Amino acid sequence: MAETNTSKFPIYAVIVTVVFKLLFLLTHYIQEDAFITWRVAQNLLDYGVIGFNGDTKISASTTHLYVFVSYLFNLVFGKEHFIEPLLIFNSILFTIGTLLLSHLVLKNPWHKAIFIFLIGILPPAIKISILGMEYGILFFLEMILLYYGFHKGKKWVLTLLPVLIMFTRIDTVIFLGIIFLVDVFWNRKIRWNYIFGGILGVLCTVAFNWFYFGELVNNTITAKKLLYEQSFTFQQNVNYFLVSFGNFWGMLKVPGNFNPVTIIVLIFELLCFIYLVRQRQNRNYFLWIIFMFGWAKQIVFISQKSLFDWYYWVPQLLLFVPVLIFVLEQKVKRNLWLSLLIVLYILPMMAFQTIHSIATGNGEWNYRRTIGLFLNTYEKDKNQWILLEPAGYVPYFSGLKTIDEVGLVDKQIQGEIKKDKKNYWINTVKNRKPKYLLSYKNLYEGTNAEALYYQSHYKLLKEFRVKDHLNSDNKILEKIYHLKPSGTDYNLYIRID
């Protein structure tokens, strides 16, 4: 069937996919870091300052554009009701992005519709849509750039979109750079509008950081590098890669350094890509872009020991695109190929994500959020400080001023890390005397000076245990909670002097 402008199948697929994925809102699985961005947005609303603790400026969020979008949703819907509309908005934008991607790589409207739905229910797509991170907007902007800028040739898109993309995440320079390299190699010419847009994007992002925050890159990058940076031998790097790579290419995070599912999928993705680009179609231009970007992004981030799985969501999806195209365009036994793909991979992946979302949503929303709600009720003075890690749910729902272990939301702790990395936690407690400490471990254990200090100046206020939140009236949910318990045991301490 030839592509026609009148076909509504892909549009219907967008609607069905969005509605289907909204069921995942019921799991309450929202990424911890989303609450950092939303607190920054609310800090802007309350204090007129992009920060985390009152009128102190700090780029605590990894994304500037999403902070402003979250600010608008808070403004329109209110702090109590903005989350669901924003998650729906993210899901709609991401799914429209898959529609634009389908226009770039497929011709048959039915194929596009199936492509949109199948890619939309893969684990990374569900997480991009529902977990509250900035990747729904980012994917939408990236696909607009490819479709309207490089497919339709809109010069204003080539100039404006790199600015918006860079302002969403600074690491998108990898995506923009891969597009430039493929475009120059493919067309043997330079698009100066795009060059100008890229330069403008870098300048706008860096200038905003410098003039507003007094730094060239986001504080989140500086903080993570400062705390997590380590020296590895060659053998340690090899071992690290072997342990880590299986978590990213296969869409399924499993422990250990051998994941046969990941290896099979990786090989199949490569074979499908090679098969498609040998057909010498115009879409090869876009296949090269998305496939090279997928590999480049994953290799760069794995080499930098970046284990946060959200860095890999978009590359995971883009690397899987050739598989879907290959299966959809089979002329012999297409239904068999498609059925095998759905039964052996798509449905198991979705089932895994469903269980993961239910269990993790329980551990985050029903457990970790409880700690914040307890503190919100217990401590009425919101100018009191708490030292903890991570800085998402508990600070957001408690409303307390926050020092996080990494220094994402508070720069002063970075000074302690620079002075004495081994003892920075206890030194921060002694110097700043936060009223509350939330720790993974029992601070009273041992007979050393640290334990004695905690025993003298802090008392245990409350214990929070994951096992206490694994019950449900629904027996199926309870089995899932016990199958994959999510969360960390905490001890909450309060200063007594």
pLDDT in tens, 363-418: 999 999 999 999 999 999 999 999 998 888 999 999 999 999 988 999 999 888 88
Q: With contact defined as beta carbons under 8 Å apart, do 363 and 469 qualify?
A: yes
Q: With contact defined as beta carbons under 8 Å apart, do 412 and 433 qualify?
A: no
Name residues whose C-beta falls within 8 Å of residue 456's C-beta, 6 or more positions apart in sequence.
Answer: 497
Query: Which residue type does 316 have?
Result: Q
In angstroms, the CA 301 to CA 296 distance is 9
Q: Residue 82's pLDDT is what? A: 96
Q: What angle do CA 461, 466, 469 make, to 5 degrees?
A: 100
Q: Is 132 exposed, middle or buried (0-12, 13-18, 19+ CB in 10 A)?
A: buried
Closest C-alpha among 322, 347, 340 to residue 268: 322
Q: Residue 206's pLDDT is what? A: 93
In angstroms, the CA 37 to CA 67 distance is 6
Q: With contact defined as beta carbons under 8 Å apart, do 60 and 215 qualify?
A: no
Name residues whose C-beta falls within 8 Å of residue 413's C-beta, 6 or more positions apart in sequence.
Answer: 403, 404, 405, 407, 424, 428
Q: Residue 380's pLDDT is what? A: 93
Closest C-alpha among 375, 391, 369 to residue 494: 375
Q: What angle do CA 43, 409, 445 make, to 5 degrees?
A: 130
Q: Residue 299's pLDDT is what? A: 84
Q: Residue 1's pLDDT is what? A: 42
Low-confidence ranges of the chain (pLDDT < 50): 1-4
Closest C-alpha among 39, 219, 37 to residue 136: 37
Is the pTM of the predicted complex or chain greater than 0.95? no
Please write the tens of the pLDDT for every residue from 75-105: 999 999 999 999 999 999 999 999 999 999 9
Q: What angle do CA 474, 478, 481 make, to 5 degrees?
A: 140
Closest C-alpha among 253, 313, 269, 292 to residue 130: 313
In angstroms, the CA 495 to CA 497 distance is 6
In angstroms, the CA 88 to CA 242 distance is 37
Helices (H) and strands (E) in the chain, counts: 23, 5
SS3 191: coil
Closest C-alpha among 172, 95, 82, 184 to residue 140: 95
Name residues whose C-beta falls within 8 Å of residue 201's C-beta, 6 or more positions apart in sequence.
Answer: 162, 163, 164, 165, 166, 167, 176
What are 347's two structure tokens? 């449905």
In angstroms, the CA 41 to CA 262 distance is 38
Q: Residue 85's pLDDT is what? A: 96
Angle between helices 123-130 and 9-21 (to 10 degrees): 70
SS3 4: coil
Please write the tens of the pLDDT for every residue from 345-375: 899 889 989 998 999 999 999 999 999 999 9
